[in-house]
Amino acid sequence: YKLKDRVYREFYDATEAQFDRLHIDKAERKLESFKTNIADMSRAGNAKSQLLHEREKLMRQYDRMKNELQTYENNIGFLSISSKKGNHLVDDMNQKVERIKSELQLIVKKIDALDNEL
């Protein structure tokens, strides 16, 4: 079992190095993988219902993350006003906000890809 984990880690590191060499970022890889998956879905028997289900799932995920982003931005406002020692928390929250914003952009691109397939 330990050997499996080690082999997986080595494989993952090697593929990451190749993608870095090709200057392909993770978001772009995720989007291309998603496009491949929806192309496979579109060839299935009940393609339209699968694609619509996937779109609904992405829309729910988008709404949930949008609410989370709004909460973080609201909390940053309170922390930056009320606390001088809260700089570490504010920095942490800003990192989370940036991560969520990039994930939201990826979700929007996935939804656009689904709309093009439908």
Residue 38 and residue 54 in contact, taking contact as beta carbons nearer than 8 Å: yes
Residue 31 pLDDT: 86
Q: How confident is the model at residue 83 (pLDDT cuts 50, 70, 90)?
A: low
How many CB atoms are closer than 10 A to CB 100? 17
Residue 70 pLDDT: 93
DSSP annotation of 77 reads H
**Rounded Cα–Cα distance for residues 40 and 55 (Å):** 15
Q: Quick one: which of 94, 106, 96 has its CA closest to 62?
A: 106
**Rounded Cα–Cα distance for residues 75 and 93 (Å):** 8
The answer to whether residue 98 scores a pLDDT higher than 60 is yes
| pLDDT tens digits along 24-61 | 777 888 888 888 888 888 887 888 888 899 999 999 99
> Considering the chain, what percentage of its residues have pLDDT values greater than 90?
30
Residue 80 pLDDT: 64
Is pTM beyond 0.75 here?
Answer: no
Residue 42 and residue 117 in contact, taking contact as beta carbons nearer than 8 Å: yes
| pLDDT tens digits along 101-115 | 999 999 999 999 889
Would you state the structure tokens that stand for residue 65, as one six-digit string? 């993350």
